[in-house]
Amino acid sequence: MSGVFHSTWYAFWLVGELSKACWTVVADVVTGSKKVDPCVVYYPLRVTKDWQITAFAASITITPGTMSLELVDDQPSAGHAPDVPRLLAVHAVHGSDPRGVLADLAAMEETMAPHVKGIDNRLDEARVLYPAPKPVLKEEK
């Protein structure tokens, strides 16, 4: 698939995913649902170029209910070792199934960058914080 055609196709696919996520969040707000069960997952990236990581993180963050938190790179100064994946920390509001969140992220990454389909995603090594840590509020002086 050519780059322009694939980028256009991915944009349409992402709009569909955004629509589904919006309806889930709207339904939760309108019904007063208690389905909010956040988690933080550290997703092992298969994309390696900075622009791909940025596009993937942006795709996650614009999707309602998810947010990219940080890129964890254990070897930033020496260059990245190919056998050690960089990790993208992602907060998911509907995180009662953290492994499902990881699977959804893998599907998004494969849709954005089809060349990663043949690369082991190492989801069994992914770190999960469930439930997500609660924010600490600073007391005013």
Does the N-terminal peptide bond of residue 131 adopt cis geometry, omega within 30 degrees of 0? yes
Tell me how far apart the alpha carbons of residues 106 and 127 are, in angstroms, rounded to a whole number: 14
Q: Dig out the tokens for 39 from the structure.
A: 């988690």
Q: With cut-offs at 50, 70 and 90, classify the pLDDT of residue 8.
A: very high
Query: What's residue 17's pLDDT?
Result: 93
Query: What's residue 36's pLDDT?
Result: 84
List the domain boundaries for the chain. Answer: 3-129
Neighbours of 69 (CB within 10 A): 15
Strands ordered across the beta sheet of 66-72: 66-72, 87-92, 39-44, 127-129
Q: With cut-offs at 50, 70 and 90, classify the pLDDT of residue 137.
A: confident
| pTM for the structure as a whole | 0.84
Under CATH, what is the fold of the domain 3-129? Alpha-Beta Plaits (3.30.70)
- pLDDT of 98 > 80? The answer is yes
Q: How far out from the chain centre does Cα 69 lie?
A: 9
Query: Who has greater pLDDT, 31 or 75?
Result: 31
Query: Who has greater pLDDT, 6 or 59?
Result: 59
Mean pLDDT, the chain, whole residue set = 88
